[in-house]
């Protein structure tokens, strides 16, 4: 697990420490550093596995010059990581004009062998999807979710336990559910997908000779079920959230999952359910870092805390804004055991309240 990161002259940060928890939620204005936190973690992973940082299988950060902060107060860029058990890791270089010197990488012997990253630009509905090659397989569902059908076709019948079932399987303090006896990956994924779209059941297959995989969906129709529909006939939400659900539910304790905008194309109830899932996965021993613009995802996490699905001390919240000089500023509200948050910085998921206040205010004279 990563316990903390300290940035020096990295991208939008001049000096900035960030504490990480089993579940870390990154929120705030666009262009203020949320993605930079995730990118720094991926950079460390790429350094550990491929001996290069900027351009790798997970992301392309461009050049050293691109990473050196506009707000830098000296020529050095450095990112320090504090891993669990006090293990340090770091990456640094010195920038002089466009020349790079003093490149230094200090890594432990193993770095994030079980990392999954799901980008904000996930694939939408597609009739067919690729089959992962030997380099990518079988570690993840793909940064765009492009291998999710292949992954589920191969591993759908694997037993994963029931630690994150939406209806509390394996937790004596939570109500049972008719499907609670199932510990298979496909059934756990279906259970969570049904939290997003009630009555949906996904199906997965492969055409090996064509090197493609595919998914399809059926729905409850009274006492019967519909035929299978192509993803292009069921909307964007299911295709966007499916790889997120699969990545979270299939992650083993000790894994690290990075997700950008898990709420994309989901209705508010689905976003809230996604927050609950994220919290329960973190409670089961997976470290999850989430970038979100959704107050419903935050509320799902808060509800999970209140219900006892995750301890409040396993959740870290960071809100990113921009200071007077344009430099990124980070506030870190805390959450109590009842799911209440101790402070709400300006701009921190308060737009709904501001909108309601304006709608409730009397019309000003002269307004049409």
Per-residue pLDDT tens for 104-136?
888 776 555 578 999 999 999 999 999 987 665
Helix axes 295-306, 268-283, angle to 10 degrees: 50
**Phi, psi (rounded to 5 degrees) for 139:** -80, -25
Degrees to nearest 5, angle at CA 324 with 319 and 325? 105
Mean pLDDT, the chain, rounded, equals 86
Residue 178 has pLDDT above 80, yes or no: no
Instruction: Note the pLDDT of residue 324.
Output: 81
Instruction: Note the pLDDT of residue 113.
Output: 59
Residue 173 has pLDDT above 70, yes or no: no
**Of 3.40.1410.10, 3.40.50.300, 3.40.50.2000, 3.40.960.10, which CATH number belongs to 1-114+251-362?**
3.40.50.300
Instruction: Note the pLDDT of residue 130.
Output: 92
Instruction: Note the pLDDT of residue 276.
Output: 95
pLDDT tens readout for residues 267-288: 999 999 999 999 999 999 999 9
* Burial grade of 292 (CB within 10 A; 0-12, 13-18, 19 or more): buried
Instruction: Note the pLDDT of residue 100.
Output: 83
Instruction: Note the pLDDT of residue 52.
Output: 55
Residue 179 has pLDDT above 50, yes or no: no
pTM for this structure? Answer: 0.89
pLDDT tens readout for residues 212-243: 999 999 999 888 999 999 999 998 899 999 99
pLDDT tens readout for residues 73-84: 899 999 999 988
Instruction: Note the pLDDT of residue 170.
Output: 39
pLDDT tens readout for residues 319-365: 999 888 888 899 999 999 999 999 888 888 888 888 888 888 887 77
Instruction: Note the pLDDT of residue 106.
Output: 84
Task: Tally the residues of the chain.
Answer: 368
The domains of the chain are located at 1-114+251-362, 125-242
C-alpha span between 184 and 189 (Å, rounded): 9
Nearest to 110 by CA among 62, 45, 53: 45
Instruction: Note the pLDDT of residue 165.
Output: 61
**Phi, psi (rounded to 5 degrees) for 5:** -135, 140
Instruction: Note the pLDDT of residue 181.
Output: 47
DSSP string, 23-76: EEEEEESTTSSHHHHHHHHHHHHHHHHHS-SSBSSS-B---HHHHB-TT-SSSE
Six token digits for residue 313: 């001390």
C-alpha span between 330 and 54 (Å, rounded): 25
Residue 168 has pLDDT above 60, yes or no: no
Residue 86 has pLDDT above 90, yes or no: no
Nearest to 246 by CA among 330, 339, 149, 321: 149
């Amino acid at each position: 697990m990563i316990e903390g990161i300290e940035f020096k002259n990295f991208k939008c940060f001049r000096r900035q420490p960030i504490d990480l928890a089993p579940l870390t939620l990154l929120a705030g204005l666009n262009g203020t550093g949320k993605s930079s936190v995730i990118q720094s973690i991926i950079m460390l992973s790429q350094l550990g596995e491929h001996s290069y940082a900027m351009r790798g299988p997970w992301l392309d950060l461009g050049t050293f010059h691109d990473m050196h902060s506009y707000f830098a107060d000296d020529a050095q860029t450095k990112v320090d990581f504090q891993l669990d058990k006090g293990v340090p890791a770091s990456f640094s270089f010195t920038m002089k004009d466009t020349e790079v010197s003093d490149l230094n990488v200090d890594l432990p012997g193993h770095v994030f062998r079980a990392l999954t990253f799901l980008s904000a630009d996930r694939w939408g509905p597609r009739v067919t999807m690729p089959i992962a090659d030997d380099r990518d397989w079988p570690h993840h569902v793909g940064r765009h979710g492009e291998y999710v059908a292949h992954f589920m076709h191969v591993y759908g019948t694997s037993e994963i336990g029931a630690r994150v079932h939406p209806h509390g399987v394996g937790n004596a303090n939570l109500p049972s559910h008719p499907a609670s006896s199932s510990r298979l990956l496909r059934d756990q994924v279906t259970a969570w997908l049904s939290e997003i779209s009630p009555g949906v059941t996904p199906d997965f297959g492969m055409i090996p000779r064509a090197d493609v995989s595919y998914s399809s969906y059926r729905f409850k129709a009274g006492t019967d079920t519909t035929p299978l529909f192509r993803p292009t006939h069921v909307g964007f939400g299911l295709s966007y959230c499916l790889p997120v659900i699969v990545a979270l539910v299939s992650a083993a304790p000790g894994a690290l999952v990075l997700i950008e905008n898990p709420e994309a194309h989901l209705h508010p109830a689905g976003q809230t359910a996604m927050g609950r899932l994220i919290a329960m996965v973190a409670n089961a021993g997976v470290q999850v870092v989430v970038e979100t613009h959704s107050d419903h995802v935050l509320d799902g996490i808060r509800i999970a805390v209140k219900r006892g699905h995750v301890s409040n001390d396993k959740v870290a919240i960071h809100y990113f804004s921009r200071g007077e000089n344009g430099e990124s500023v980070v506030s870190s509200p805390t959450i109590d055991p009842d799911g209440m948050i101790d402070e709400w910085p300006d701009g921190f998921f308060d737009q709904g309240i501001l909108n309601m206040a304006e709608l409730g205010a009397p019309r000003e004279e002269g307004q049409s």
